[in-house]
Structure 1
Amino acid sequence: MFKNKVVMITGASKGLGRALAVKFAEEGAKVAICARNLGPLMEVEKELKTLGAEVVALEADVSDARDVDRFVSVTEEAWGSVDVLFNNASVFGPGPRLLVDYPEEEFLEVLRINTLNPFLVTKRVLPGMISRGSGSIINLTSEAGKTGFAEWGAYGISKFAVEGLTQTWADELSESGIRVNMVDPGEMDTDMHDKAVPSCDYPLAAPIDHLHVFLYLASDESLSENGKRFEAQEYEWDGRGEHE
């Protein structure tokens, strides 16, 4: 289903980003990955290549327009335009903290990184997608992006912005053949969740176990989906048009 499709994933050195990279490599996609931490990223690249995947892996800060242009340019030079983009990269910030105690500089930095990177990467891949009249863009959101939670601070507020960004892109691209959707992965066993909920005392889902909706949105089965919000842990899809 994904053989020779070009799938780009930001923040792919660990957690959900890594799980997505491995899954799409297994499905035969050409996988372009980036992260700010080169060492872990190279480990993911090695893992994908052992699966037989073609891989582009670059150290990049996708809240920096120059890094974004370099990452997308190298991918396009290798394989042409991007078919599927997962805007997965984000930061939580200083940890659970009431807004009244939130340092201004850190508040602004979380907002800058988490809202600018899906804007910049989407903007950079769009010319190629528009020229083909097709493409799927999936932004990662959070339950904290539709409900304000105490102590989630700038992260939650940034995800409210990502949801608005997703809806705006979707409306602007509604006649282009490109679809823009968002996924709330739910609580998962990741480093980010450890930072957000350091005293967590309940079981968490593994990212690899809840990838159905991501496969669906990357596939041609989702051509009619645009501007929608999905919850990964409540979604099942068998790859043959059956989902719930």
Structure 2
Amino acid sequence: MQTSIDLQGLRVAITGGTSGLGLALVRQLAAKGARVAFIARTAASVERIAAETGAHGIVADVGKKNDIYPTALQVTASLGGVNVLINNASSLGPVPLALLADTECEELEAALAVNLLGAFRLTKALFGALAASAREGCGALVINISSDAAVNAYPGWGAYGASKAALAHLTAIWDEEAKPDGIRFLALDPGDMDTPLHAMALPDSDPFTLKAPELAAAEIIEKMLDALTARDKLTTGARA
């Protein structure tokens, strides 16, 4: 695993950037020299993390349609474009977790609004900026944070799992469709982590059995760099 990396000039947008995996990504990417814009709902937390890391904080809810385009404009204005978008913000749906028969329609809608539609809308809003980055030879990548609940049928995880399964397939289709634009799409499962979201879902779980968000973030950054390098080699080969 690469431990000393200079990401000077890389422009990264991250949703759900004030806790758990998102926060670990913001901290590590900013520390490695990347220009980072992160999105989260709570103004006080956004201000605190922005002051701590030097990243650009944006107060918005990706689950709300009307927040998407203003957010995209702030991302591109603050970073001068975007190379990487990490759709990390997630909603469990019902809390505590519930069987599908006991899940309210509004709770399923809430999970889909953040985990699927939010990621779709923000990616769509930033697609032009990502394509421009690819044309400039700077790389363009969208990482959608998935889960093993997208492929395994865990009782009680219906709303979350169904939304993540849809996100994973959306990612695969978009990766095929965006090849002419030079944009790569990845769906990554970081594993079970010691995060506030996991604690909400399973409050009795032993945190010592869970992966640290910092480790998961380092693994995602490594895969991000591999994907950007692979796309750059393909582009270079095509031009040769």
Q: TM-score, normalised by structure 1?
A: 0.84
Give the alignment partner of residue 25 of structure 2, picking from 4, 11, 20.
20
SS of equivalent residue, structure 2 residue 116: helix
SS of equivalent residue, structure 1 residue 85: strand
Asked whether 1:180 is paired with 2:185, we answer yes
Distance verdict in 2 for CA 1:157–1:127, change over 3 Å: same
Distance verdict in 2 for CA 1:72–1:38, change over 3 Å: same
User: Where do 1:51-62 residues align within 5 Å?
Assistant: 55-62=55-62
Q: Which residue of 1 aligns with 2:116?
A: 115
The sequence identity of aligned pairs, in percent, is 34
User: Where do 1:209-220 residues align within 5 Å?
Assistant: 209-219=215-225
Distance verdict in 2 for CA 1:38–1:202, change over 3 Å: closer
* Deviation of 1:93 (Å): 2.0
Retained in 1: the 8 A contact 2:149–2:161? yes
Aligned partner of 1:179: which letter?
R
Measure the CA separation in 1 of the matches of 2:223 and 2:129. Answer: 19
More moved, 186-195 vs 206-215: 206-215
Give the alignment partner of residue 214 of structure 2, picking from 208, 217, 220.
208
* Deviation of 1:220 (Å): 5.9
Aligned length: 220
Q: Which residue of 2 aligns with 1:90?
A: 90
SS of equivalent residue, structure 1 residue 137: strand
User: Where do 1:106-145 residues align within 5 Å?
Assistant: 106-133=107-134, 134-145=139-150
Q: Which residue of 1 aligns with 2:235?
A: none
User: Where do 1:57-72 residues align within 5 Å?
Assistant: 57-72=57-72
Measure the CA separation in 2 of the matches of 1:224 and 1:38. Answer: 37
Give the alignment partner of residue 159 of structure 1, picking from 155, 159, 164.
164
Give CA deviations for 1:20-56 in whole Å, capped at 9, x if unaligned: 000001100111011011111211111102xxxxx32
Q: Which runs of 5+ in 2 are unaligned?
A: 1-5, 232-240
Give the alignment partner of residue 230 of structure 2, picking from 212, 216, 224.
224
Q: Which residue of 2 aligns with 1:234?
A: none
Asked whether 1:192 is paired with 2:193, we answer no
User: Where do 1:19-58 residues align within 5 Å?
Assistant: 19-49=24-54, 55-58=55-58
SS of equivalent residue, structure 2 residue 230: coil
Aligned partner of 2:189: which letter?
D
Measure the CA separation in 1 of the matches of 2:38 and 2:113. Answer: 21
* Deviation of 1:105 (Å): 1.7
Retained in 2: the 8 A contact 1:138–1:217? no
Retained in 1: the 8 A contact 2:84–2:130? no
More moved, 106-115 vs 80-89: 106-115
Retained in 2: the 8 A contact 1:216–1:222? no
Distance verdict in 2 for CA 1:92–1:185, change over 3 Å: same
Measure the CA separation in 1 of the matches of 2:85 and 2:129. Answer: 12
Q: Which runs of 5+ in 1 are unaligned?
A: 50-54, 226-244
Bigger relative contact order (CA 8 A; separation at least 6): 2
Give CA deviations for 1:170-215 in whole Å, capped at 9, x if unaligned: 0111222110001111111111101221221362221012223321
Q: Which residue of 2 aligns with 1:76?
A: 76
SS of equivalent residue, structure 2 residue 114: helix
SS of equivalent residue, structure 1 residue 34: strand
* Deviation of 1:222 (Å): 3.9
